Structure 1
Amino acid sequence: MAPGSLVLAAWSPKVASVQIGFIVNLPSDYNLISGTSMACSHASGVAELLKGAHPGWSATAIRSALMATANPLDTTRNPFLDGDHFNSASPLTMGTGRIDPNRALEPGLTYDAASQEYVNLLCSTNFTRKQSYPSLDRAYDCSKPSSYLNYPSFIALYILTKQRQGSKHFRGL
C-alpha cells in the first residue's frame, strides 16, 4: 500500500549504518531506509488525520482520497525511479505516488466500497473459501459474485480457458 523510498529514520548509534570494507563500521543517529514497513507509519498517520477531518469517511474512502491525490512525481518533479535507479517506476512498483496530505483533505471525488463488494470480488475468482478467503466470517454471502469493484485502481482477473489443442490459455476479464 505504501512503498516507502529512502525514509529518514532514527537509528541506534550502536549499530553501524554504513560499512566500509570488512573493518570500518560508521555509526549514525539517522539512516535512510526503504520499504513498506518504513512508510506504513507515515501513511497510517495521514489516514488518521483524514479520519479526524472527515469522521464519516470509511477506510475505503480514505484510501481512495490518498490514492487519487498522490503525486506520481518525486520532490524534484521527475518520475520516480525503479529499484535499479535507471528506469521510471511503474505503478506496480511505486503505487500511485507520494502521499499529499493537503490534497487528500479535499480530493473532489472518493470511491467507496462495502465489505460485501470485496467479498463478491473474491467470490468471482472461483477459488474455494480456503484458497481465497479463509478468515472470512461465514456470514458473508457468495451468492452474487462480481468482478466489478468501485476502486481507484485496477485489477486484472484471469480465467483459465481450454483451446482445441488442449493447451491452457488465460483470458482477461
Structure 2
Amino acid sequence: MSCPHVSGLAALLKSVHPQWSPAAIRSALMTTAYKSYKDGKQIIDIATVTPSTPLGHGAGHVSPTMATNPGLIYDLTAVDYLDFLCAMDYTASDIEILSRRNYTCDPSKTYSVADLNYPSFAVYVDVAGEYKYTRTVTSVGGAGTYSVKVTSETTTVKILVEPRF
C-alpha cells in the first residue's frame, strides 16, 4: 500500500517544487523519513515484532511536511542512470531499448554501480580493505549549517565522512 501513498506524495512535492527532478523528489522523501516515533520508540517489524531494520523499513516512514524542505538533496540526471546501466554491463542495444535513445558506454571509463548518487547504499565487505563511496548533495533550502552524523552498529567498520561540516 505504500506505493500509491508515496506516489501521491511525490505528486504533491512536484506541485510545490515543479523544477525538481524525480531523483530530487525521491531524495527529499528518503532523507526526511523517520525511523522512530515521536515517543522515541523504533518502528516495529510486524512479522517479527522486533525493531525493524533498514532492510525491512527502507528509508523509514515518509514525512510529507519535512520533505517539502529537506535542505539538501541527492540529485541525478538521465546520463547518471545510463552510466549505471553501463556499470551493470548492459549492452548498447539493451540501453537503447530501455532509454529509447542511442547511448554507448565509454570503453575508456570505469563504471561502478556505487557511483550512482543515491541517498543510501549498502557495502558488502568480503575482504579487509577500504571502500570509498562518493555522494554529492545540492542545497535546496538556502543558507544553513551542514553537519554529519553517521553511526555503525559494529566497531569493526569505521566510517569517515568528508567534509564533516
Please give the TM-score of this superposition, normalised by the length of structure 2: 0.63
Tell me the residue number matched to 1:7: none
Distance 1:124 1:53, change over 3 A: same
More strand by share: 1
C-alpha distance in 1 between matches for 2:95 and 2:8: 30
Q: 2:118 aligns with which of 136, 145, 151?
A: 151
Q: What is the deviation of 1:47?
A: 0.7
C-alpha distance in 2 between matches for 1:105 and 1:49: 9
Would you say the 8 A contact 1:79–1:89 is kept in 2?
A: yes
Percent of aligned positions that are identical: 40
Once the two structures are superposed, the pairs formed by residues 9-88 of structure 1 within 5 Å of their partners are: 38-74=1-37, 77-88=40-51
Q: Which runs of 5+ in 1 are unaligned?
A: 1-37, 159-171
> C-alpha deviations, 1:104-129, integer Å up to 9, x for none?
01000011111211221221133556
Say which is worse superposed, 133-142 or 47-56, in terms of deviation: 133-142
Say which is worse superposed, 68-77 or 127-136, in terms of deviation: 127-136
Task: Report the count of equivalent residues.
Answer: 124
Q: Which runs of 5+ in 2 are unaligned?
A: 126-130, 133-165
Q: Which has the larger radius of gyration?
A: 1
1:149 is matched by which residue type in structure 2?
L
Q: 1:99 aligns with which of 59, 62, 79?
A: 62
C-alpha distance in 1 between matches for 2:21 and 2:5: 19
C-alpha distance in 1 between matches for 2:95 and 2:56: 23
Would you say the 8 A contact 1:113–1:150 is kept in 2?
A: yes
Q: Is residue 88 of structure 2 the alignment partner of residue 125 of structure 1? A: yes
Would you say the 8 A contact 1:64–1:152 is kept in 2?
A: yes
Q: What secondary structure does 2:44 align onto?
A: coil
Say which is worse superposed, 40-49 or 94-103, in terms of deviation: 40-49
Tell me the residue number matched to 2:103: 140
Question: Cα RMSD over matched residues?
Answer: 3.0
Please give the TM-score of this superposition, normalised by the length of structure 1: 0.60
Relative CO higher for 1 or 2, CA cutoff 8 Å, sep ≥ 6?
Answer: 2
Q: 2:71 aligns with which of 104, 108, 116?
A: 108
1:146 is matched by which residue type in structure 2?
Y
